[in-house]
Structure 1
Amino acid sequence: MKPALQPGRLLATRYRLIDQIGAGGMSVIWRAHDEVLDRVVALKVLAPSLAADARFRDMVREEARAAAQLVHPHVTSVHDYGETVAPDGRITSFVVMELLSGEELEFRLTEGPLPWPEAVAIGAQVADALAAAHRLGIVHRDITTANVMMTQVGAKVLDFGIATRIGAPDDDEDGATFGTPAYVAPERLDGAPAQPATDVYSLGVLLHETLTGRVPYPADTWDELSAALARDAPPTVADVPGLPPAVAQICLRCLSRDPADRPTARQVATVLRDQMLPADPQASTMLAPTVTLTTVDRAAAVAAATPGVSAATPGVSAATPGQETPAATAPARSASGDDRCHVRCSSRRWWRY
């Protein structure tokens, strides 16, 4: 029996599958060629076992709608949502997104904390993206270093898979809490409605981690998070060399236990941008939204989509599933540290009952 999806298949009479570049618990990521607009895109395809459930299809559709509203240089662009029905009745549900070139912030931090100007630039860009989402009434709920992609145009916020509307119940119908424990605001453990302040707390965790190399309250489970919040001393960034006091202050305000004491995402972005060093060329590059991304060669991508033709793309390395490196422009790295192209799957989900 043939697999439901394979290279060369055409979805929605438009998207020709090239190769699978990632997989997670809820979805599979394919590189595909948009035959209408002649461009290479990423297709986030809901796992077949979940696509049969209308509830999960609705969740994917809502993710697409939420992200598609955000036309912002630091948010991954969503182009389309589609569903196809095979002759045997199997449903394929997918989101079409831009294909990003770069590496996860989480991966970059494996080498240690960032220089504070770079950390501040990233924090400002993520804060800008969140401010745009909050203006539209959207709460992301899963801001982590794994959901921030570093590209040639700066940081890109990924994965609106568990985003919701401001004021909506924060747990699902079974009473579960969504998110990644170390980044979750304390009030979310008590089931408070979704609010922008919960994203700002996660932003504070991200900023703290980029500055120090560690999260304020390490935790892999909800019980560990509760214990850490009750036991551990308040976080500090006092050991970061040369860090401006204004950055330290705004970071710790984001991490306030009381949501009312946190700044807005817009205020965070303003403070962080004011602390950028104008003479720092790296900082200037990271804040510029107009740099053009390296694109995949269209002809090679179309050839790769055709059954019986090699899918190899000149100048692109696919050694790491889910990611690719433009060989002509990527800096030299070890085999375990290459710059990579990435579209995040909804694979890391935590639930609290």
Structure 2
Amino acid sequence: MATLHAGRLLARRYRLIDQIGAGGMSVIWRARDEVLDRVVALKVLAPSLAADARFRDLVREEARSAAQLVHPHVTSVHDYGEALAPDGSITSFVVMELLDGEELEYRLSGGPLPWPEAVEVTAQVAEALTAAHRLGIVHRDITPANVMMTRVGAKVLDFGIATHVGAPDDDEDGGTFGTPAYVAPERLDGAPAQPATDVYSLGVLLYETLTGRVPYPADTWEQLGAALGTGGPPPPLDVPDLPTGVARTCLRCLSRDPRARPTAQQVALALRDQLLPADPQAATMLAPTVTLPSVVVPPQPGPTPEPAPAAAGRRRAPARRPVAVVAGGVVVVAAGLALLAPTVIRDADPPPPRALPTEPPSTPAATPAPTPAPTRSTRPPAATSGAPAAPPRPTPSAAGTTAPPTPGGNLTEAADRVDALIGAGVADGGIRPDVGTDLRNLLGHVTAASGRGDLTVAVRRARDKVADRRREGSITPAYAGRLDAAFQQLAAARV
């Protein structure tokens, strides 16, 4: 693109820095948003295509579709713009968040993923599709090339050929959108776009991440028609130790009958169930954001008892691998990126202040009382070496805001407490304003999820987002701890 060069300013706002990727339809630039002072990715439509209003409309529709989705596993779209050059040429572009990571397709070039990692990645993509389908959006091109592996999990890219449920599935020339090996059989017959077609692609994605190959190899529509015409089932999933539930879910997604396929939400729930061990106690310990209760033992007569051990810190399920640079469907993988270890331990919250008052021990009775059943401690347990400290008791901020009240009440009251805490954090600088807006959007998703029975999952995502924002410095540790506690209370509130 001769008209584009480093240093050029588009739409009087986006300063091009360097080109980081290229594809058949677009070029990806790293750029600086000089209004908000942040680095973003610009997906710029090729000049030969930008001259065609139909392609500009396609890119604009991509931006509109993706901008509606506020989800941790969907790449954020910030803006769409068009710049007119002195020679009359039009530069059409989409502004997106810039991610560090690698394309799933690149990751699979080294072979299939370990089955727990393949299941985790597919579950995250299924959760992203669930959010899209609720808005009536069908992606139509779920492939490893359109999934980025980042430090915060998988991100679905490129809504460039997304459409709305029920819309015609072919273009004006009668062609079919998508990548042949991932396209559902009914799409070859011109059936309208439906969420079930994305679920079929999701099944292909799961199959490939588990085995390193697609169930029906095809580079053209003719090859796909011939492969599907045999009518036989896909080759078996010969993966050591693979739970039968994962294989069953994958084959259901690949059903020839769209009505026999599960929904994206059902896929996500089914796969996450397979990541938890059969032992309920172990399942609780491996839940992504669960803090186990400490044990309070009343003092016994005689020598002073040893203090009860601190509660186990929060632990993450098997880690997601990191990755390269986002580029709306095109990625340049940075050299030397180290892979994360198989398991990631979440950073521990700050230890409780030493100045916090403690309750005096009760006077022991003459006759030892039987030890009661374990109960949740009402104060932070003491930290011990080798385990992260339990979350500290929320304390007032410098601005005089108060800590979240004791859990209880109904859902509306709990949501109001979270909203008030966000407002207080934005007011005194503990929460960046744009992050406050994002958190309020998440809060809306959480309260909406209560009516669908998804409250626990939605709260977990919100808590993960708070932890991510804390690590990047846009929420202070004090407010991050208080927000985490407030969202936990929201999960326990009465609906």
The alignment's TM-score, normalised by the length of structure 1, stands at 0.81
Residues of 2 paired with 1:76 and 1:127: CA distance? 14
Identity, in percent, stands at 76
Q: How does 1:324-339 map to 2 (within 5 A)?
A: 325=334, 330-331=338-339
Give 1 or 2: higher strand fraction. 1
Q: How does 1:1-353 map to 2 (within 5 A)?
A: 3-231=2-230, 233-277=232-276, 278=283, 279=286, 283-286=317-320, 322-323=331-332, 325=334, 330-331=338-339
Partner amino acid, structure 2, of 1:262: R
Contact 1:63 1:160 in 2 (8 A): yes
Q: Deviations over 1:116-173 (max 9, x none)?
A: 1001000100000001000000000000011111110111111111000000000011
SS at match of 1:211: helix
SS at match of 2:275: coil
Offset at 1:322? 4.5
Offset at 1:282? 7.1
Offset at 1:237? 4.0
Q: Deviations over 1:300-344 (max 9, x none)?
A: xxxxxxxxxxxxxxxxxxxxx9425386x6349xxxxxxxxxxxx
Residues of 1 paired with 2:75 and 2:130: CA distance? 15
SS at match of 2:226: helix
Residues of 1 paired with 2:240 and 2:134: CA distance? 35
Contact 1:211 1:237 in 2 (8 A): no
Offset at 1:294? 11
Partner amino acid, structure 2, of 1:271: A
Which has the higher mean CA deviation after the structures are superposed, 180-189 or 224-233?
Answer: 224-233
Residues of 2 paired with 1:180 and 1:11: CA distance? 32
Contact 2:117 2:318 in 1 (8 A): no
SS at match of 1:22: strand
Q: Deviations over 1:77-100 (max 9, x none)?
A: 100000111122111110000111
Contact 2:103 2:331 in 1 (8 A): no
SS at match of 2:92: strand
The alignment's TM-score, normalised by the length of structure 2, stands at 0.58
Q: Deviations over 1:13-67 (max 9, x none)?
A: 1100001111111111100011111111100001111111111111100000000
Partner amino acid, structure 2, of 1:330: A
Which has the higher mean CA deviation after the structures are superposed, 81-90 or 261-270?
Answer: 81-90
Match of 1:298 in 2: none
Residues of 1 paired with 2:126 and 2:14: CA distance? 33
**Structure with larger RCO (C-alpha < 8 A, sep 6+):** 1
Residues of 2 paired with 1:188 and 1:151: CA distance? 31
Residues of 2 paired with 1:324 and 1:294: CA distance? 5
SS at match of 1:31: strand
Residues of 2 paired with 1:212 and 1:326: CA distance? 26
Q: Which blocks of at least 5 consecutive residues in structure 2 are unaligned? A: 277-282, 288-314, 341-495
Pairwise CA RMSD of aligned residues?
Answer: 2.3
Contact 1:78 1:97 in 2 (8 A): yes
Match of 1:318 in 2: none
